[in-house]
Amino acid sequence: MSDVHRPSSIIEKCLICIPYLYGVIDMFFRFSPTLIMNFELTSYWEGIIDEYFVYYSNLQYLPHIMFLFLYVGIVRNSSKRINYFLQYNAMQYLILFTAEQLLYDLFLRTCFNYLDTTFTLTVAVLCVFSITLLSIDCILNILMGRYSEIPIITDAVLVHIGDKRRK
């Protein structure tokens, strides 16, 4: 197997897993108002949540900065030093991130007036759960040195960076 196709070192694998982990955390907090509005909280937890949202509102553009860094620094880097395995997984995260943003936007636009209902809580939990499962699957595949296959998303990855995987 050539260097272009060889899965990277464990350090590089762990580093490329960070965006997936951050994406799960970010989406959890995006959907958290629905969770918060459906449960009674003590004043202690309300204080913690208020403090969190101060920090979260200051860091809300971090995922977009990370998106730009991954796209320019890894996917579109013309250097031959970045192997295909890293490019593939970075591009897959970027497309998955875009799908997460679309899912969140659709959720918010359809459920905005009903955030305190059981239906909206159920939809929010299902969205976060599905995003978490997809991210865990991708992380496990990265750590095992395998290419993840996600319908539609994998096709979009291959359109952007080509198919250099070895079967």
pLDDT in tens, the chain (167 residues): 444 555 668 888 888 899 999 888 888 888 887 777 777 878 888 888 778 778 777 777 888 888 888 888 888 877 777 788 888 999 999 999 898 889 888 988 888 777 778 888 888 889 999 999 999 999 999 999 899 888 999 999 999 888 888 75
Of the candidates 73, 66, 120, the one whose C-alpha atom is nearest the C-alpha of residue 96 is: 66
Q: From residue 88, how far is each of 13, 46, 93, 117, 161 by CA, in Å? A: 12, 41, 9, 39, 7
In terms of phi and psi (left: phi > 0; alpha: psi -120 to 50; beta: otherwise), the region of 162 is: left
